[in-house]
Protein backbone atom coordinates (compact mmCIF):
# COMPACT_ATOMS: atom_id res chain seq x y z
CA UNK A 1 0.00 0.00 0.00
CA UNK A 2 2.82 2.40 0.88
CA UNK A 3 4.55 1.73 -2.46
CA UNK A 4 1.34 2.52 -4.38
CA UNK A 5 0.81 5.71 -2.41
CA UNK A 6 4.43 6.80 -3.03
CA UNK A 7 4.11 6.03 -6.75
CA UNK A 8 0.80 7.93 -6.99
CA UNK A 9 2.31 10.92 -5.17
CA UNK A 10 5.38 10.95 -7.44
CA UNK A 11 3.21 10.77 -10.58
CA UNK A 12 0.96 13.57 -9.32
CA UNK A 13 3.93 15.85 -8.63
CA UNK A 14 5.47 15.00 -12.01
CA UNK A 15 2.21 15.75 -13.84
CA UNK A 16 1.73 18.96 -11.88
CA UNK A 17 5.20 20.26 -12.76
CA UNK A 18 4.59 19.65 -16.46
CA UNK A 19 1.73 22.16 -16.58
CA UNK A 20 2.32 25.89 -16.78
CA UNK A 21 3.10 27.38 -13.42
CA UNK A 22 2.05 30.92 -12.66
CA UNK A 23 0.96 31.93 -16.15
CA UNK A 24 0.44 35.65 -16.25
CA UNK A 25 -3.06 36.97 -15.77
CA UNK A 26 -3.73 40.41 -17.20
CA UNK A 27 -5.80 42.77 -15.09
CA UNK A 28 -5.54 46.21 -16.58
CA UNK A 29 -1.84 46.87 -17.14
CA UNK A 30 -0.66 44.56 -14.34
CA UNK A 31 0.51 41.01 -15.09
CA UNK A 32 -0.21 38.95 -11.98
CA UNK A 33 1.47 35.74 -10.82
CA UNK A 34 4.47 36.29 -13.08
CA UNK A 35 6.90 34.17 -11.08
CA UNK A 36 7.13 30.48 -10.31
CA UNK A 37 9.51 30.95 -7.34
CA UNK A 38 8.86 33.42 -4.53
CA UNK A 39 11.30 34.58 -1.87
CA UNK A 40 9.94 36.42 1.13
CA UNK A 41 9.43 36.81 4.85
CA UNK A 42 6.64 36.23 7.34
CA UNK A 43 6.18 37.32 10.91
CA UNK A 44 7.15 40.86 9.99
CA UNK A 45 5.89 42.17 13.33
CA UNK A 46 7.54 39.44 15.43
CA UNK A 47 10.17 36.76 14.94
CA UNK A 48 10.83 36.78 11.20
CA UNK A 49 11.11 33.68 9.02
CA UNK A 50 12.60 33.48 5.53
CA UNK A 51 10.37 31.82 2.93
CA UNK A 52 10.90 30.15 -0.43
CA UNK A 53 7.68 29.31 -2.25
CA UNK A 54 7.62 27.15 -5.39
CA UNK A 55 4.52 26.75 -7.57
CA UNK A 56 4.22 23.17 -8.88
CA UNK A 57 1.38 24.32 -11.14
CA UNK A 58 -0.90 27.37 -11.27
CA UNK A 59 -2.54 26.65 -7.90
CA UNK A 60 -0.49 24.12 -5.90
CA UNK A 61 2.60 25.45 -4.12
CA UNK A 62 5.16 24.16 -1.64
CA UNK A 63 7.06 26.41 0.74
CA UNK A 64 10.27 26.07 2.76
CA UNK A 65 10.48 28.04 6.01
CA UNK A 66 13.62 28.94 8.01
CA UNK A 67 14.35 31.40 10.79
CA UNK A 68 16.52 32.12 13.79
CA UNK A 69 16.85 34.45 16.78
CA UNK A 70 19.94 35.40 18.75
CA UNK A 71 19.70 36.95 22.24
CA UNK A 72 22.79 38.08 24.10
CA UNK A 73 23.29 38.61 27.82
CA UNK A 74 25.19 41.66 29.06
CA UNK A 75 27.93 41.55 31.65
CA UNK A 76 30.12 38.80 32.97
CA UNK A 77 28.93 35.59 34.60
CA UNK A 78 29.12 35.49 38.43
CA UNK A 79 31.58 33.10 40.05
CA UNK A 80 30.54 29.47 39.47
CA UNK A 81 28.05 30.27 36.68
CA UNK A 82 28.17 30.12 32.90
CA UNK A 83 27.04 32.90 30.58
CA UNK A 84 24.71 31.45 27.93
CA UNK A 85 23.64 33.24 24.75
CA UNK A 86 20.07 32.50 23.69
CA UNK A 87 19.67 30.95 20.26
CA UNK A 88 16.54 29.71 18.55
CA UNK A 89 16.35 28.24 15.06
CA UNK A 90 13.35 27.05 13.05
CA UNK A 91 12.90 24.97 9.91
CA UNK A 92 9.77 23.66 8.24
CA UNK A 93 7.55 23.58 5.23
CA UNK A 94 4.04 23.89 3.95
CA UNK A 95 1.88 22.76 1.05
CA UNK A 96 -0.89 25.16 -0.01
CA UNK A 97 -3.61 25.28 -2.65
CA UNK A 98 -4.49 28.70 -4.13
CA UNK A 99 -8.19 28.91 -5.01
CA UNK A 100 -7.82 31.72 -7.56
CA UNK A 101 -5.15 33.33 -9.71
CA UNK A 102 -6.58 36.82 -9.34
CA UNK A 103 -5.09 39.92 -7.76
CA UNK A 104 -6.28 38.57 -4.38
CA UNK A 105 -5.42 34.88 -4.10
CA UNK A 106 -6.80 32.99 -1.06
CA UNK A 107 -5.22 29.66 -0.11
CA UNK A 108 -5.59 26.72 2.26
CA UNK A 109 -3.02 24.11 3.22
CA UNK A 110 -0.92 22.40 5.87
CA UNK A 111 2.24 23.63 7.62
CA UNK A 112 4.81 22.16 10.00
CA UNK A 113 7.79 23.78 11.75
CA UNK A 114 10.45 22.36 14.09
CA UNK A 115 12.02 24.82 16.57
CA UNK A 116 14.93 24.45 18.99
CA UNK A 117 15.39 27.21 21.61
CA UNK A 118 18.31 27.65 24.02
CA UNK A 119 17.58 29.91 27.02
CA UNK A 120 19.76 32.95 27.62
CA UNK A 121 21.10 33.86 31.03
CA UNK A 122 23.58 32.90 33.73
CA UNK A 123 23.40 29.25 34.81
CA UNK A 124 25.24 27.00 37.23
CA UNK A 125 24.20 24.13 34.92
CA UNK A 126 23.19 25.12 31.38
CA UNK A 127 19.76 23.62 30.58
CA UNK A 128 19.13 21.57 27.47
CA UNK A 129 17.46 23.39 24.58
CA UNK A 130 13.66 23.25 24.38
CA UNK A 131 12.44 21.61 21.18
CA UNK A 132 8.95 21.91 19.77
CA UNK A 133 6.99 21.00 16.68
CA UNK A 134 4.16 23.25 15.49
CA UNK A 135 1.83 21.97 12.81
CA UNK A 136 -1.65 22.45 11.52
CA UNK A 137 -3.94 23.94 8.94
CA UNK A 138 -2.94 27.26 7.38
CA UNK A 139 -5.36 29.64 5.65
CA UNK A 140 -4.48 32.95 4.13
CA UNK A 141 -4.35 35.16 1.13
CA UNK A 142 -1.91 37.08 -1.00
CA UNK A 143 -2.52 40.47 -2.58
CA UNK A 144 -0.45 40.94 -5.74
CA UNK A 145 0.49 44.62 -5.72
CA UNK A 146 2.45 44.16 -8.96
CA UNK A 147 3.41 41.37 -11.31
CA UNK A 148 6.14 40.09 -8.97
CA UNK A 149 5.44 41.47 -5.48
CA UNK A 150 2.75 40.30 -3.07
CA UNK A 151 1.90 40.78 0.56
CA UNK A 152 -0.68 38.97 2.62
CA UNK A 153 -1.86 37.47 5.87
CA UNK A 154 -1.86 33.85 7.02
CA UNK A 155 -3.57 32.17 9.97
CA UNK A 156 -2.39 28.88 11.48
CA UNK A 157 -4.70 26.67 13.54
CA UNK A 158 -2.91 23.66 14.94
CA UNK A 159 -0.92 22.01 17.70
CA UNK A 160 2.25 22.91 19.61
CA UNK A 161 4.12 19.80 20.76
CA UNK A 162 6.80 20.67 23.33
CA UNK A 163 9.17 17.70 23.33
CA UNK A 164 10.55 16.03 26.44
CA UNK A 165 13.60 17.69 28.03
CA UNK A 166 15.90 15.68 30.29
CA UNK A 167 17.07 16.93 33.65
CA UNK A 168 20.78 17.59 34.02
CA UNK A 169 20.70 18.54 37.71
CA UNK A 170 18.31 18.96 40.62
CA UNK A 171 17.93 22.62 39.63
CA UNK A 172 16.23 21.88 36.29
CA UNK A 173 13.76 19.00 36.57
CA UNK A 174 12.77 16.73 33.72
CA UNK A 175 10.02 18.15 31.50
CA UNK A 176 7.54 15.81 29.85
CA UNK A 177 6.11 16.22 26.37
CA UNK A 178 3.16 18.62 26.36
CA UNK A 179 0.63 19.28 23.63
CA UNK A 180 -1.54 22.37 23.31
CA UNK A 181 -3.75 23.97 20.68
CA UNK A 182 -2.32 27.08 19.07
CA UNK A 183 -3.25 29.84 16.66
CA UNK A 184 -1.04 32.45 15.05
CA UNK A 185 -1.51 35.24 12.55
CA UNK A 186 1.38 36.49 10.45
CA UNK A 187 1.89 39.16 7.81
CA UNK A 188 3.81 37.98 4.71
CA UNK A 189 5.65 39.63 1.82
CA UNK A 190 7.11 37.92 -1.27
CA UNK A 191 9.00 38.70 -4.46
CA UNK A 192 8.35 36.28 -7.36
CA UNK A 193 10.62 35.39 -10.27
CA UNK A 194 11.23 32.46 -12.65
What is the pTM for the complete model shown?
0.76
Residues 148, 154: Cα–Cα separation, whole Å: 19
Q: What DSSP designation does 154 have?
A: E
Residues 37, 146: Cα–Cα separation, whole Å: 15
Split at pLDDT 50, 70, 90, the class of 135 is very high
Cβ pair 25, 180 in contact under 8 A: no
* pLDDT digits 0-9 by tens, 76-114: 888 989 899 999 999 999 999 999 988 999 999 999 999
Domain limits for position 142: 2-193
Mean pLDDT calculated for residue range 50-76: 92
Residue 14 is predicted with a pLDDT of 45
30 pLDDT more than 80: no
Split at pLDDT 50, 70, 90, the class of 45 is low
Q: In terms of DSSP bridges, do strands 60-71 and 49-55 run parallel, antiparallel, or are they unpaired?
A: antiparallel
Return the percentage of the chain with pLDDT > 90, whole number.
51
Mean pLDDT calculated for residue range 152-161: 95
Q: How many residues does the chain have?
A: 194
Cβ pair 107, 100 in contact under 8 A: no
Q: Say which CATH number the domain at 122 has.
A: 2.40.160.20
Mean pLDDT calculated for residue range 133-138: 96
The total number of structural domains that make up the chain: 1
Residue 18 is predicted with a pLDDT of 43
| Alpha carbon separation from 31 to 53, 58, 169, 192 (Å, rounded) | 19, 14, 61, 12
Residue 44 is predicted with a pLDDT of 63
Amino acid sequence: MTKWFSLLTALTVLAATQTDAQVTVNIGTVNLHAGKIGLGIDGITGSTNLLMKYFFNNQLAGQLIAGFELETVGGSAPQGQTKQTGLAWRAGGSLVFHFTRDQVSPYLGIEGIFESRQQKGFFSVVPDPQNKITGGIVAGGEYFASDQFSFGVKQLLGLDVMLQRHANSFVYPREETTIKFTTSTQVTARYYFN
